[in-house]
Amino acid sequence: DTAVSQTPKYLVTQMGNDKSIKCEQNLGHDTMYWYKQDSKKFLKIMFSYNNKELIINETVPNRFSPKSPDKAHLNLHINSLELGDSAVYFCASSQDEEGELYNEQFFGPGTRLTVL
């Protein structure tokens, strides 16, 4: 049973295209995240989404937009892809304890995006 799943695992596309990455978690968690991991393995949070509240990392270009159809899904849509968007994108989820965030994050397997 996969706790956090992402599709596709690999995505190769041309500059300027629009693409989406899907994420689903079956853990019943309240909070989901998107991370970008670059070629140097630096891991940067892009968004977190909790009970319909979106928290954005202000450094993320507005070409990136998360979309959550329900609590178990948080998709990432990217417009007008650029060469610098090439990276591995990880989805993650965590469970909030009442009044306090438990904050152990469960990561998906990643989507390797290559922009040509």
Partner 1 sequence: QQQVKQSPQSLIVQKGGISIINCAYENTAFDYFPWYQQFPGKGPALLIAIRPDVSEKKEGRFTISFNKSAKQFSLHIMDSQPGDSATYFCAASYSGAVWCAGKSTFGDGTTLTVKP
Q: In the complex, which residues of this chain contact partner 1 (CB under 8 A)?
A: 4, 31, 33, 40-45, 48, 50, 53, 55, 90, 92, 94, 96, 99-110
- CA contacts within 13 A on the Cβ side of 47: 22
Helix (H) or strand (E) holding 73: strand 73-78
Any idea which residue has 């989805």 for tokens? Answer: 91
Question: Closest distance between partner 1 and the C-beta of residue 91, in Å?
Answer: 8
- Residue 56 CA, distance from chain mean position: 12
Q: Which is nearer to partner 1, 18 or 67 (CB)?
A: 67
Question: Closest distance between partner 1 and the C-beta of residue 41, in Å?
Answer: 5
| Tokens describing residue 31 | 């909070």
Question: Closest distance between partner 1 and the C-beta of residue 68, in Å?
Answer: 14
3-state secondary structure of 52: coil
Q: Which is nearer to partner 1, 14 or 51 (CB)?
A: 51
